[in-house]
């Protein structure tokens, strides 16, 4: 098998990496795959299942992890803490998709690569579900001449089969993060600014602010004045417990490496699988100055690992031009830079995901835009 024709999946035998490999194989039966990681033996069962696949000893914590190998594209489904894989891909001219960087690491990667000479596109796609929420935000924002607010609300099931990277954001619950609020960059705390949402499955809950890269990229790509991502668990007790721990300052006391294992034991207890639901709303004014609010919902009955894998699939397609449009120019791009909306939504539906868009919000009225300034801000 020629590695030049293959997609290298870094962390390909992890929870999300395996899902990504399987959906890529289902969509492209003859596309060669390389399953990379520090323990290739763990990949062998998956390699045999996939066919036209091989394992590769890939250590992203060492410089030059590609060891001279130049695949057709790289999907990073594992943390790249020192950006060694990212830099190796850029210097080798290999298209690269990352789905594991949270906001600060994403911004660090942009800064670190600012002096590099790009010969291929780099998709930093760590927004929620590998950028699917951001793509939906772009889709519903098209009729708006100016965007006042984009809200992304997530229902996270405690029974979902999640990978450890998916809960990493909760390890930062005591850390303020940057958002765009009324046209200005502000620092706010996690688990503040609640908003009541009814999700497509009928579950109604308060959702609370948390850190996602969507809140960094959507103001850049769409010019949105405010972007807010919020989350709730499908357990009222779990949601209220995290709110209490963060607001009381108790969670901050357990910050640092000393208590890392304890925090992870509280946060990472994956189940066997459950549905993942997202509501995306965009409010603003249209071409004639009329206020409008548009809505999209995404529901994957197979859960967030599956939905993240589908996000990774469509970002790989975008990077390589497999979605029918020319690939992006060399350089940094985001999921919301120029998504092929129809292609993305069709892929999701083909894999059993329900995608719906609607401007009818009569059953759920968004809070007035003039109240957005009441978000708790870190001074």
Q: Which pLDDT score is estimated for 259? A: 56
Q: CB-based burial of residue 48 (10 Å sphere; 0-12 exposed, 13-18 middle, 19+ buried)? A: exposed
**CA 223 to CA 279: how far, in whole Å?**
20
Mean pLDDT value across the chain: 87
- Same domain for 109 and 153, yes or no, is no
- Same domain for 291 and 211, yes or no, is yes
* Residue-wise pLDDT tens digits, 271-329: 556 789 999 999 999 999 999 999 999 999 999 999 999 999 999 999 999 999 999 99
Q: For 239-268, what is the mean pLDDT?
A: 64
> Strand, coil or helix: what is 2?
coil
CA 208 to chain centre: 17
- Same domain for 286 and 137, yes or no, is yes
Element (H, E) at 214: helix 214-222
**CA 357 to CA 372: how far, in whole Å?**
24
Residue 86 belongs to domain with CATH number: 3.40.50.720
Residue with tokens 């609640």: 194
Assess whether pLDDT exceeds 70 at residue 335: yes
Closest CA to 232 of 263, 201, 203, 275: 203
Number of structural domains (the chain) is 2
| Domain-embedded: residue 344 | no
CA 182 to chain centre: 23
**Which tokens hold the place of 196?**
């009541």
| Domain-embedded: residue 109 | yes
The boundaries of the domain holding residue 177 are 132-304+354-374
- Same domain for 180 and 293, yes or no, is yes
Least confident span in 69-83, 161-175, 333-347 = 161-175
Q: For 217-244, what is the mean pLDDT?
A: 87
**CA 274 to CA 301: how far, in whole Å?**
6
**6: which DSSP letter?**
P
Strand partners, 196: 206
**CA 40 to CA 37: how far, in whole Å?**
6
- Same domain for 72 and 118, yes or no, is yes
> Strand, coil or helix: what is 117?
coil
Q: pTM above the 0.85 mark?
A: yes
* Residue-wise pLDDT tens digits, 61-99: 999 999 999 999 999 999 999 999 999 999 999 999 999
Residue 204 belongs to domain with CATH number: 3.30.360.10
Question: Within the chain, where are the H helices?
Answer: 15-27, 44-50, 84-92, 103-112, 132-141, 214-222, 236-248, 250-253, 260-267, 304-320, 341-350
**CA 312 to CA 31: how far, in whole Å?**
15
Residue with tokens 């029918």: 324
């Amino acid at each position: 098998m020629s590695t030049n024709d293959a997609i290298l999946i870094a962390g390909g035998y992890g929870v999300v990496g395996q899902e990504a490999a399987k959906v890529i194989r289902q969509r492209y039966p003859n596309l060669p795959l390389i399953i990379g990681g520090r323990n290739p033996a763990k990949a062998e069962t998956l390699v045999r299942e996939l066919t036209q696949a091989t394992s590769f000893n890939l250590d992203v914590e060492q410089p030059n992890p590609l060891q001279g190998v130049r695949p057709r594209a790289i999907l990073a489904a594992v943390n790249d803490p020192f950006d060694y894989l990212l830099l190796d891909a850029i210097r080798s001219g290999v298209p690269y998709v990352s789905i594991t960087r949270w906001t600060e690491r994403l911004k660090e990667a942009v800064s670190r690569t600012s002096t590099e000479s790009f010969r291929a596109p780099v998709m930093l796609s760590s927004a929620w579900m590998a950028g699917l929420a951001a793509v939906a935000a772009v889709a519903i924002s098209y009729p708006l001449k100016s965007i006042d607010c984009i809200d992304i609300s997530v229902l996270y099931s405690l029974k979902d089969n999640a990978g450890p990277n998916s809960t990493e954001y909760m390890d930062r619950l005591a850390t303020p993060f940057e958002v765009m609020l009324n046209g200005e960059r502000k620092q706010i705390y996690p688990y503040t600014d609640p908003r009541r949402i009814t999700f497509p499955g009928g579950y109604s809950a308060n959702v609370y602010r948390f850190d996602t890269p969507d809140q960094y990229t959507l103001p850049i790509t769409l010019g949105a004045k405010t972007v807010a991502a919020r989350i709730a668990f499908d357990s009222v007790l779990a949601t209220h417990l995290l709110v209490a721990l963060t607001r009381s300052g108790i969670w901050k006391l357990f910050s640092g490496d000393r208590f890392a294992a304890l925090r992870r034991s509280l946060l990472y207890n994956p189940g066997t699988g459950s549905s993942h639901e997202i509501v995306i709303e965009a409010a603003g004014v249209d071409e004639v100055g009329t206020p409008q609010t548009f809505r999209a919902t995404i529901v994957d009955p197979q859960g967030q690992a599956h939905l993240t894998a589908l996000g990774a699939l469509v970002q790989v397609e975008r990077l390589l031009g497999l979605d029918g449009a020319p690939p992006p120019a060399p350089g940094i791009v985001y999921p919301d830079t120029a998504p092929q909306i129809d292609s993305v939504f069709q892929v999701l539906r083909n894999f059993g995901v329900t995608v719906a868009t609607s401007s009818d919000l009569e059953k759920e009225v968004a809070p007035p835009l003039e109240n957005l300034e009441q978000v708790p801000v870190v001074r």
